[in-house]
Each structure stands twice: as C-alpha cells, then as structure tokens.
Structure 1
Amino acid sequence: MEFPSNTKMFFQNLKQCPICLRQFTPERIIYHENICKTSAEIQRSLFDSTLQRISGTEVENMTKREIFKSRLNDTAKSMIIFQNDVNQIAFVKQSKTKGPTQLSTNWRAKDVEFLKRVRNDKKPIESKTNNSPMIPKLECEDFLQCPLCLRTFNTPSFDRHIKVCVEVQNRKKSKPSVGYSKSDKISQEEV
C-alpha cells in the first residue's frame, strides 16, 4: 500500500511523549504532556470485588479496614515470599499443617485403575451362552462393596449409600402383588 507524499511528511514530524511514549504532532504534544503528567500522578483506586459481593449481606456491617486486614492476613499466612538471585521473587505456598505434608503416593495407580474401570464399563457385557469371558471387575483397596447391591463406594459415600440401599431393599420386599393375571379374569367371567 502506497501512502501519498504528504502522509510521509506527517509521520516524520511526529514527536514522542516522554511519559507514555505515544507520538503526537508538535502542536498537540504540549497539551498532551500536561494531561499525561496529571493522569500519571493520580493513583487510581483498584476495584475491590469483595466489597461489591458483600453488599446486602451480614458481612456488610464490617468496616472496609477489617475486611482489608483479614484479606492481608490470609494471604500472608498462605504465602512466604523469599528472594532468589537478582530481583526474582518466588511464592511458595505454606503448608497448613505444621509438620511435613503427607501426599498420597499411590494417586497414579488409582488413576490408572479408574481409567481401566471406565473403559471396562463402556465395553458391552457378553452373554454367558456365547461362552465368552465376562469383563473382570476391577478391585480397588479403598472402595467398600455394598452387600445388598454389590456396588463399590469410597468410605463417606458408602456410609450414605448403605442407609438408602437398605430402605430400597425393604421397600421391594414389602410390596405385595395385588393385580390379577389375564387367566384369572377369564376364569372368573366364565363362572
């Protein structure tokens, strides 16, 4: 794209603002520098979304200073700042426990087992009449099996499930069959 010759002259005459490094014509640079200085000196307040979120709640009665202090304390507790080499700052999360943290060492084995379980559940179960092998159910050490429905759950879920499963099993047993079959109806009409 070719610019006209007067456009090239226009771009050559531009002067740069020392504050924001933008370029202006010589007539406008004087006005811009004054405005740019004043706007650079003014410190703008940062928008705090927590104050907006708490409006209309019980926490609104707290002063802004208390909220700000609590936020600072939380960040100070959760992070330690230390200086590495030259002007490098790294943040390290401080563990909430006082001793060394115990991470689960067998998470990868659990993940692999979970993926196998999902893949096996997606495969169709072949019938026993075809004499084809059924897909073996994978066993996991951390899961408990429900004696009623034979499903497996982790410990907290198992505690919740067992109550529901017992109720469902009791409901199934207590329902008597009330209806008549078609053969009973026909025999009653003939009589």
Structure 2
Amino acid sequence: MASAETAKDEQTFPCRICTRRFIKSSLDKHEQACKKLTKIQRKVFDSGKQRALNSDIPINDVRKVQKEREKMGGVFPRPQTNWRERHEEFIGAVSASKQVGNALKTGAPLPPPPKTASNADYIKCDFCGRSFNKNAAERHIEFCKEQNVRKAILSKQGRQKTSECKFLFKTYKQIMPFYLIKLIFSLYPTY
C-alpha cells in the first residue's frame, strides 16, 4: 500500500508522442517504446481476404468486387428515413387506442380518431384523393384520369340507355341463350 500512495503523490508528465501521462522514472522508457510503435507500418486488415479463406469464393473475385465498388463511388449512402416521424405516429396511435379502451370501459364518449399524417414524399392523386410514391403516382394518376373520363362518358350514356337496356334484356332473355345476352350487354355495363 505504501508504494501505491507514493505513486499517487508523484507528479506525472505527458508523453510527447501519445500524450498519455507517466511518472518521470517510467516516462523515458515509455517514449522509446512509443517511438518504435509509431514507426511500424501496420497492414490494413482485409476482411474480404479473411472471408474468402474458408469459403468457396476465390480472393480474386472479392477484390474485383471491391474495385468495382470503388469505381462507382464507394459505399452507397442509405436513403434518409423519417423514422422519428413514424415513431411519433406510432406512439400517438398507441395512446389513442388506450384512450378508446378507457372510454369503452368507463362509458365515456369516444375520442375523435387520430389524424393520420400523410408522407411528405407522397404525391396526391387529384381524381381519387389517394397518395402514392413518385413511381406509383406516375402510373396511377394516368390510369385514374382515364377511368374518370370513362365513368363520366358512361354515366351520361347510361342514363339514356338504361331504359333501352332493360327492355332489350327482357326481350332477348326469351329468345337467346344466356351467354349471348351476357356478351351483348357487356357493351352496356350499366343496366
């Protein structure tokens, strides 16, 4: 114990190389060892080489892949996620469900449903009001636009032809097989 107490009392000095602190008697010895360690060039550890050692993949293939990756700009960055917003929505949904459960138990009026926050990256369809990511929106909006145009045309025609269709259906039902009637009336979807 006496040696530990004397070591605490002695003044420490920083190493000029690694800035660790030592007492004067061991500082000189440490600096010599520290100089030797800094002169040694350590090899960079190649994890691909180690993985290829005990597998059926040759090391040359691993190196080719590494070179190709470097040509393409290294490791690709991960896309930014809005995990915090999704987490907040989740916490809000859990608390809302607890409130509903408590309201049902106590007989109190139900709280209003929580508002779902739409993703800022999504594009809203003008025709149906649904939201899609960029790629899906490009496909969907065109489709939805065509569908709305068709519905508008058919609804105008449908009002006029509904009475005609009903009359024709009753008439043809008596003289034609059902599959032909279906074929004919597939041209007039509203009857």
Do these two structures clear the TM 0.5 threshold for a shared fold by scoring above it?
no
What is the TM-score of this pair, normalised by structure 1? Answer: 0.33
More strand by share: 1
More helix by share: 2
Q: Which has the higher contact order (CA 8 A, sep 6+)?
A: 2
What is the TM-score of this pair, normalised by structure 2? Answer: 0.33
Q: Which has the larger radius of gyration?
A: 2
